[in-house]
């Protein structure tokens, strides 16, 4: 893959911290694009695939920062990000001036703003750049990066975004990307709950799920969530591209954001209860296992 040339400090060495369902394929796509990649994960075994493809493995976030020009974070939640940044051997204390840190985790906008301020004191650039898409899009290099931060940092990061994604958009200053991600997830997960509910109602009535899905995807009920998750439901494929427990977490973050900006969110609050309930039994399954929860509520699966 030919890299786009962008004015500014050229990034040659990239660190990726977080080798889960998303971080691992993102690291592989950076390697394919010609970057030198160093990876780190709390569970070292998860670094094996990237290491086999040519990535170096670092012992700590500090070690990653010492070896690289830019560091990408793809972590589970606010607490994990805080640990990597502010914990012992963290990026904030050990990162060098001129380092670029990109957080692609799904976190609260307030945390992104706090990170930006803390890094600025060390002359470290910071972007919040969460993504839309799940494991298949990460593997195919078709993620959509939602970016908050300075234009200079954004332009410097463009070659990385283009190595891992199909699209990138700067939405404003730090926190804007994190906010957009939570808003998108609220809309998507409320939509998915409605789709699973409708499919369950149709099944209980006696409609063939395949035929009902044909109706929905060719009518007003069609959505991106229905298009992607409908075929998985029909195959009874609960293998996780995006785990249900994380969807439950993201719903809580989105509602907290709504409360912070004094916006009512009755649909999100109702959907959150559904996701929390489903995550109790299906938390490690794909988010489309919400459909299983609807059916099992009446032992009708």
Q: How far does Cα 54 stand from its chain's mean position?
A: 24
Q: Are residues 161 and 186 in the same domain?
A: no
Q: Are residues 60 and 187 in the same domain?
A: no
pLDDT in tens, 78-106: 999 999 999 999 999 999 999 999 999 99
Alpha-carbon gap, residue 265 to 92, rounded angstroms: 35
Q: What is the pLDDT of residue 7?
A: 46
Global pTM exceeds 0.75: yes
Is 37 a domain residue? yes
Q: Are residues 94 and 207 in the same domain?
A: no
Domain that holds residue 63: 13-173
Q: What is the pLDDT of residue 297?
A: 65
Q: Are residues 87 and 63 in the same domain?
A: yes
Q: Which residues does the chain have with pLDDT short of 50?
A: 1-7, 299-301
Q: Are residues 76 and 165 in the same domain?
A: yes
Q: Are 188 and 118 in contact (CB under 8 A)?
A: no
Q: Are residues 38 and 163 in the same domain?
A: yes
Query: Which residues are paired to 15 by β-bridges?
Result: 38, 71
Q: Are residues 112 and 202 in the same domain?
A: no
Is 49 a domain residue? yes
At 269, which CATH number? 1.10.1040.10
Is 167 a domain residue? yes
Last residue of a domain, which of 173, 201, 235? Answer: 173
Alpha-carbon gap, residue 19 to 127, rounded angstroms: 19
Is 137 a domain residue? yes
Is 4 a domain residue? no
Is 94 a domain residue? yes
| Whether residue 114 lies in the annotated active site | no
- The active-site residue, picked from 46, 181, 229, 249, is 181
Last residue of a domain, which of 158, 173, 188? Answer: 173
Q: Are residues 130 and 164 in the same domain?
A: yes
Q: Are residues 136 and 39 in the same domain?
A: yes
Is 117 a domain residue? yes
Interior CA angle at 267 toward 264 and 270, to 5°? 110
pLDDT in tens, 58-84: 999 999 999 999 999 999 999 999 999
- 73: closest CA among 33, 36, 112, 117? 112
Q: Are residues 42 and 166 in the same domain?
A: yes
At 55, which CATH number? 3.40.50.720
Q: Are residues 165 and 115 in the same domain?
A: yes
Is 301 a domain residue? no
Q: Are residues 32 and 132 in the same domain?
A: yes
| Number of domains forming the structure of the chain | 2
Last residue of a domain, which of 117, 148, 173? Answer: 173
């Amino acid at each position: 893959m030919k890299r786009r040339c962008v004015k500014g400090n050229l990034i040659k060495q990239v660190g990726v911290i977080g080798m889960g369902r998303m971080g691992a394929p993102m690291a592989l796509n950076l390697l394919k694009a010609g970057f030198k990649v160093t990876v780190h994960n709390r569970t070292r075994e998860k670094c094996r695939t990237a290491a086999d493809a040519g990535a170096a493995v670092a012992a700590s976030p500090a070690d990653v920062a010492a070896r690289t020009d830019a560091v990408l974070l793809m972590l589970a939640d606010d607490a994990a990000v805080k640990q990597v940044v502010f914990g012992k051997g963290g990026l904030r204390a050990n990162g060098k001036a001129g380092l670029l840190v990109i957080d692609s985790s799904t976190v609260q906008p307030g945390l992104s703003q706090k990170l930006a301020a803390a890094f600025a004191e060390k002359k470290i650039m910071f972007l919040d750049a969460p993504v839309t898409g799940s494991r298949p899009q990460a593997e195919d290099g078709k993620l959509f990066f939602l970016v908050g931060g300075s234009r200079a940092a954004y332009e410097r990061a463009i070659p990385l975004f283009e190595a891992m994604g199909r699209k990138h958009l700067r939405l404003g200053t730090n926190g804007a990307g994190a906010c957009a991600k939570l808003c998108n997830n609220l809309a998507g997960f409320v939509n998915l709950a409605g789709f699973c509910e409708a499919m369950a109602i149709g099944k209980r009535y006696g409609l063939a799920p395949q035929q009902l899905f044909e109706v929905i995807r060719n009518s007003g009920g069609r959505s991106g969530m229905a298009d992607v998750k409908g075929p998985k439901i029909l195959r009874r494929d609960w293998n996780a591209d995006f785990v249900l427990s994380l969807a439950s977490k993201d719903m809580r973050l989105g509602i907290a954001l709504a409360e912070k900006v004094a916006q009512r969110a009755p649909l999100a609050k109702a959907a959150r209860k559904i996701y929390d309930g489903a995550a109790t039994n299906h938390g490690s399954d794909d988010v489309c296992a919400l459909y299983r929860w609807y059916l099992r509520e009446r032992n009708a699966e």
